[in-house]
């Protein structure tokens, strides 16, 4: 039954969505919680989602296990909030700048069955990126 189990084959935190749908969520964040003239989230809720609640400081968090999106040792996620990741933390050992430009972004990456995806918002420039890439091997990049 469609929608019965969104976690098995869904890279965006259990969300099954098209690239266009993911981009609409990005537009809603860039609109401060409004999309196409409709209020979806209150501005205070958007600010809360855009606020990091944890940032890797070199010793807090889970330091064991394999390199993964959820493991700071691997350095892919070094700052996290309410279901949001933050890029370009700048902490030692972090590899959390997928754009390579040092710009702080918020959003979330996705990973399932060879599909990598993500939505990243750059509040400072008022831009965002929604992407899907298929047939990606499950090994760390360089």
DSSP for 90-139, written as a single string: --TT----TTSS----EEEEEEETTEEEEEEEETTTTEEEEEEE-S--SS
pLDDT digits (tens, 9 = 90+) for 66-118: 444 444 446 678 888 998 999 998 887 788 888 999 999 999 888 777 778 88
* pLDDT tens readout for residues 1-11: 555 655 555 55
Burial of 78 (0-12, 13-18, 19+ CB in 10 A): buried
The predicted pLDDT at position 110 comes to: 81
pLDDT score at 115: 79
Confidence of residue 63 (pLDDT cuts 50, 70, 90): very low
Res 18: pLDDT: 85
Q: Where are the domains of the chain?
A: 19-133
| Residue 70 pLDDT | 46
């Amino acid at each position: 039954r469609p929608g019965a189990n969104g976690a098995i084959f869904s890279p965006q935190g259990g969300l099954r969505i098209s690239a266009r749908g993911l981009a609409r969520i990005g537009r809603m964040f860039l609109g401060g919680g409004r999309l196409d003239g409709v209020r979806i989230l209150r501005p205070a809720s958007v600010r809360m989602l855009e606020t990091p609640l944890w940032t890797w400081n070199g010793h807090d968090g889970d330091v064991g296990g394999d390199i993964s999106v959820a493991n700071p040792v691997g350095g892919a996620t070094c700052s996290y909030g309410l279901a949001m990741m933050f890029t370009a933390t700048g902490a030692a050992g972090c590899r959390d700048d997928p754009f390579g430009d040092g710009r702080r972004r918020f959003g979330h990456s996705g990973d399932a069955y060879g599909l990598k995806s993500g939505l990243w918002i750059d509040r400072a420039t008022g831009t965002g990126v929604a992407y899907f890439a298929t047939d990606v091997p499950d090994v760390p990049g360089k």
